[in-house]
Structure 1
Amino acid sequence: MDKTSGFKIRGIYKSLRVRFFVIVFLTGLISCLVMHSVILDSYENRAVNVKSTEAQTQLRILANHLIVSNYLQDTSSEVINAELDMLANLYDGRVIVINDDLKVVKDTYNISQGKTIISEEVVNCLKTGSKGTVSKYDQANGYIEIVTPIIESEDIEEEDVSVSGKVSEVVRGVLLTSVSTETIAVTLKILSRRAQTLEIMIILIILLFAAWVSIMLLRPFDRITTAINDVKAGYTDEPIVGPNYLETEQIINAFNALLRRMKVLDDSRQEFVSNVSHELKTPITSMKVLADSLLAQEDVPNEVYREFMTDIGAEIDREDKIINDLLALVKMDKKASGLTITSVDVVNLTEIVLKRLRPIARKHNIELTLESKRAITAEIDEVKISLVIMNLVENAIKYNKDEGWVKVELDADHQFFYVKVIDSGYGIPEESLDHIYERFYRVDKSRSREIGGTGLGLSIARNAVLMHRGTIDVSSVVDEGTTFTVKIPLTSTLALTK
């Protein structure tokens, strides 16, 4: 068998349609076979019970005749012998009359006459005083063995008048009878053949039903597969719709949610590419204009030349900042496995970051303060968390009013540490709060360009916080100020798994 055939066979075994077909077919087949066996067994048991009851009634009557005619002592009665032979012929069996000495008085087969019979059933019937008829079905040999006591009734003679008139029953012998069940066996064979014919018809119906069920039940899955293939091939990007089962609806809903997510990502990617192209092109255009202006002039004074070159240098710095922020953002898009986790003194880390930013704050006449309520040590990526604090504080300084202030608060509980950056700046309009983490989004574009913002700082900060399984929240009032609250776990799950 080649590999292609092997793959096809494994594919058939893995097919849900084939499994549905096999399950439905086997369920019907097993049910049919069980029903066949139960019906035949029920008939056999019922037929045996009826025949056994009928024979027991005849034998009890015959046992009374034997006592009345004193047959156990004198077997010459032609009437009794005729009754015994007739009963044996009626049931296509054998009747043996045994006296209380276990001697065979009469055998309709004329084989065991005069012999001693020692049988557990016969002995129990005679010696233990068992006066009930006992029957046993021998299915293997095809007969019913019936042990019937021959009971003689005697009056009890007692001097006490209170017990006079009572009757005593004494077992004088036993009728050991074999009743043939050949007619039952023949009937069972006929019923079995008819049942087999009916079973074949039912199995064919079950076969067709199983095939139909396996096709109909999985038809919605075929529609889903076709729709997904159309989306994959690019023929459509519309959500999957249509009546289905609860299970397929869950699959459709999950796929449609994924499709919507992919559309959002695709739109975001296109917008991101457009924004990057625009942001990178703007400084280049400015530099091109400045350079062309210099080239178009003759005998340019040194002061003008220096001014133009200063502007070109500023545009180069702006271009470099955009590229560095983009590279940082790409790194942030990686999974948390990219974190370098160490035990860090958060208060000391924040002091170092604020020390770097104080010259910028002094330049803008901004008061920058740090308030820590307790010592905090956390398992974090020191570089990325310092980037979070730096971006938040730098934004608070740049988008602040003259003579304003920025306050950084640190706190912690038994699970998380908190960084609050509070400023007295211009604030963020409510309609912009949901967009501030989008790449290249600016609340006030003119002011952002003046201070050299790229629109990537908050996106970088948010990604770094998410990599640490933390959260970042914002609240703001226009012309009053903004508060960013960062919550980071003290213990990193990444560190625990190492």
Structure 2
Amino acid sequence: MKKLFSHGYFRSIGFKIAFIIICVGIIPFVVCVPISMRAYESVSIRTDATNLMAQAISYNNQIVTSGYLTGDENSLLDTQLKAVAESYNGRILVVNSTLKIVRDSFSADVGKTVIWENIIYSMQGQSLYYYDKLTNYLIVTVPLTSSEGETVGVLVINKSMDYILTNEDTFLSYMLIGEIIIVSLTLIVAVFSHIHFTKPIKRMSKSLDAIVREYTSEMPEEDSFTELQDISSKFNEVIGKLHSIDESRQEFVSNVSHELKTPLTSMKVLADSLNGSEDVPIEMYKEFMLDIGDEIDRETKIINDLLSLVRMDKSGAQLNVTAVNINELIEHILKRLKPIAEKSDIEVVYESFRPVVAEVDEVKFTLVVTNLVENAIKYNNEGGWVHISLNSDHQFFYIKVEDNGLGIPEDSVEHIFERFYRADKSHSREIGGTGLGLAITKSAIAMHNGEIKVRSKLNEGSTFDVRIPLNYIEKEVH
């Protein structure tokens, strides 16, 4: 019971749905009943007042022309007025122009002067009514007029309105019975709705718990409500992506282990060969040491690339953004890569269409250009060419790196930005790549809110198109 009515229960969707249904069932009754009672009372009083005024007007000629106002006896009229007063469980008074009571159905106040504002207003020609809630009587005052239109007196009719209270009590009794039925039905509907609406949510919760405990790897499709079906579908998409990420992580760890282990294995083999041989010629000793040095350089490059990639992968990774002259930066990078190109007789052509100054992280952007151009040189044929172009518009600047080298197989194009992926593993082995360069390139471009596209044909060459905003806008972290 304590758990059922805990703070968390009152915040649950089931409780809120039940509460809304109960409110919808009860509030209209609480609001409408008093309004209905007041409307009934008002209409009853107004209707009775209208009827009494009409009846009073019907006695006008008899009272005025018979000398009733001056004190003449008229037993027939007395009988009629007393009968009317008794039928209303009330009282009838006839007041003359001097405000004296000349006739009283109770015969109690004849000859007395009555001063009341409604009677005074009626002496001026107004027909009025007043409901006295204290005594529960309706009092109607109607002017008595002569044939010349002069007001010569006032007819006052009192009527008991006890029937209103009786009717209201009866009405309330029926309403109370009806409300008990409505509340009962409302509670039943509320409980049913609570169970109906929360049941699929609880099923989803159990499915998620099973996924957390690794009993299953997929949430069953929930088809009870469209919204829950969408949520279930999205959860499965997220779970699928998480599994994909986990598989990528495992593959990444495996690849890292392999890539780091390979140079170490080579160095161990070379070292064992030297240690296991006697009187090793100095030339062979130097050759083996050079090979060991190359393997150390390769190991260092892999570690440096991994560190660069890890730094870019961090969710809180920051860019040191400054205004950089892109033309000068590319010229500086090409100057540094020139010896590599000359070694393989690769012609490097740089074409700049206009001066470009952009807000970039110079270090990370240097990695982008260096990796793309260096790959174009290394994965090229001897005597080939590499063409680099720079252009811009009012919003972006564009870098194109194209070559007539080895190209990329069609089925490998969509994978080249994956870590440790190599389209041609044997050729990459000769070149000495780590398989991380393009992954680093894409991460660096993404950090600048840019994008990279590739077009390639095997044995014909490749073209990489890079687009980066001129002005860096930091993404909001939600």
Give the TM-score, by structure 2 length.
0.92
1:146 to 100, 120, 140: 140
Give SS of 2:92's match.
strand
Q: Which amino acid aligns with 2:373?
A: V
Once residues 102 and 254 of structure 1 are traced to their aligned partners in structure 2, the CA distance between those partners, rounded to angstroms, is 88
2:443 to 463, 471, 475: 463
Once residues 60 and 306 of structure 2 are traced to their aligned partners in structure 1, the CA distance between those partners, rounded to angstroms, is 113
- Structure 1 residue 135: Cα displacement: 3.1
Once residues 474 and 370 of structure 1 are traced to their aligned partners in structure 2, the CA distance between those partners, rounded to angstroms, is 19
- Structure 1 residue 208: Cα displacement: 2.7
1:241 to 221, 226, 229: 221
Once residues 152 and 294 of structure 1 are traced to their aligned partners in structure 2, the CA distance between those partners, rounded to angstroms, is 147
Segments of structure 1 that go 5 or more residues without pairing to the other structure are: 154-167
Matching of residue 116 in structure 1 with residue 113 in structure 2:
yes
1:346 to 302, 326, 339: 326
Q: Which amino acid aligns with 2:141?
A: V
Once residues 34 and 252 of structure 1 are traced to their aligned partners in structure 2, the CA distance between those partners, rounded to angstroms, is 41
Do the aligned residues in 2 keep the contact of 1:75 with 1:106 (CA within 8 Å)? no
Residue of structure 2 in register with 1:84 after alignment: 81
Matching of residue 318 in structure 1 with residue 298 in structure 2:
yes
Matching of residue 93 in structure 1 with residue 73 in structure 2:
no
Residue of structure 2 in register with 1:161 after alignment: none
1:421 to 401, 419, 424: 401
- What is the alpha-carbon root mean square deviation over aligned residues? 2.5
1:61 to 54, 58, 75: 58
1:277-309: CA deviations, max 9, x gaps? 222222222223333333333332222222222
Residue of structure 2 in register with 1:454 after alignment: 434
2:189 to 209, 217, 234: 209
1:192 to 160, 172, 177: 172
Residue of structure 2 in register with 1:11 after alignment: 8
Residue of structure 2 in register with 1:71 after alignment: 68
1:182-216: CA deviations, max 9, x gaps? 12212212322332233233223322322221221
- Structure 1 residue 7: Cα displacement: 13
1:384-413: CA deviations, max 9, x gaps? 000110000000000011111112111122
Give SS of 1:101's match.
coil
Residue of structure 2 in register with 1:106 after alignment: 103
- Structure 1 residue 461: Cα displacement: 0.4
My pick for the range that moved more, 457-466 or 484-493, is 484-493
Pick closer, same or farther for the CA change 1:398–1:268 going to 2, 3 Å: same
Segments of structure 2 that go 5 or more residues without pairing to the other structure are: none
My pick for the range that moved more, 253-262 or 322-331, is 253-262
Pick closer, same or farther for the CA change 1:492–1:78 going to 2, 3 Å: same
Once residues 121 and 53 of structure 1 are traced to their aligned partners in structure 2, the CA distance between those partners, rounded to angstroms, is 16
Once residues 30 and 264 of structure 2 are traced to their aligned partners in structure 1, the CA distance between those partners, rounded to angstroms, is 85
Pick closer, same or farther for the CA change 1:239–1:11 going to 2, 3 Å: closer
Give SS of 2:139's match.
strand
Do the aligned residues in 1 keep the contact of 2:66 with 2:72 (CA within 8 Å)? no
1:235-262: CA deviations, max 9, x gaps? 1111331213232233223222211111
Once residues 469 and 434 of structure 1 are traced to their aligned partners in structure 2, the CA distance between those partners, rounded to angstroms, is 20
- Structure 1 residue 467: Cα displacement: 0.4
1:388-445: CA deviations, max 9, x gaps? 1000000000001111111211112221111111212121222211111011111111
Residue of structure 1 in register with 2:460 after alignment: 480
Once residues 487 and 247 of structure 1 are traced to their aligned partners in structure 2, the CA distance between those partners, rounded to angstroms, is 38
Once residues 229 and 26 of structure 2 are traced to their aligned partners in structure 1, the CA distance between those partners, rounded to angstroms, is 32
Give the TM-score, by structure 1 length.
0.88
Once residues 5 and 92 of structure 2 are traced to their aligned partners in structure 1, the CA distance between those partners, rounded to angstroms, is 69
- Structure 1 residue 314: Cα displacement: 1.8
Do the aligned residues in 1 keep the contact of 2:416 with 2:423 (CA within 8 Å)? yes
Q: Which amino acid aligns with 1:471?
A: E
Residue of structure 2 in register with 1:275 after alignment: 255
Once residues 223 and 74 of structure 1 are traced to their aligned partners in structure 2, the CA distance between those partners, rounded to angstroms, is 92
1:291-331: CA deviations, max 9, x gaps? 33333333322222222222222222222211111111111
Once residues 224 and 495 of structure 1 are traced to their aligned partners in structure 2, the CA distance between those partners, rounded to angstroms, is 33
Once residues 11 and 329 of structure 2 are traced to their aligned partners in structure 1, the CA distance between those partners, rounded to angstroms, is 57
My pick for the range that moved more, 296-305 or 411-420, is 296-305
Residue of structure 1 in register with 2:307 after alignment: 327
Pick closer, same or farther for the CA change 1:340–1:6 going to 2, 3 Å: farther
Residue of structure 1 in register with 2:415 after alignment: 435
Q: Which amino acid aligns with 1:361?
A: A
- Structure 1 residue 357: Cα displacement: 0.6
- Structure 1 residue 110: Cα displacement: 4.0
Residue of structure 2 in register with 1:293 after alignment: 273
Do the aligned residues in 1 keep the contact of 2:324 with 2:360 (CA within 8 Å)? yes
1:342-368: CA deviations, max 9, x gaps? 121111111111111111111111111
The sequence identity of aligned pairs, in percent, is 43
Do the aligned residues in 2 keep the contact of 1:405 with 1:424 (CA within 8 Å)? yes
Q: Which amino acid aligns with 1:450?
A: E
Residue of structure 2 in register with 1:22 after alignment: 19
Give SS of 2:70's match.
coil
Pick closer, same or farther for the CA change 1:335–1:414 going to 2, 3 Å: farther
- Structure 1 residue 273: Cα displacement: 1.4
My pick for the range that moved more, 447-456 or 91-100, is 91-100
2:370 to 383, 387, 390: 390
- Structure 1 residue 111: Cα displacement: 4.6
Q: Which amino acid aligns with 2:29?
A: C
- Structure 1 residue 113: Cα displacement: 2.6
Once residues 97 and 316 of structure 1 are traced to their aligned partners in structure 2, the CA distance between those partners, rounded to angstroms, is 128
My pick for the range that moved more, 95-104 or 380-389, is 95-104
Once residues 139 and 209 of structure 2 are traced to their aligned partners in structure 1, the CA distance between those partners, rounded to angstroms, is 74
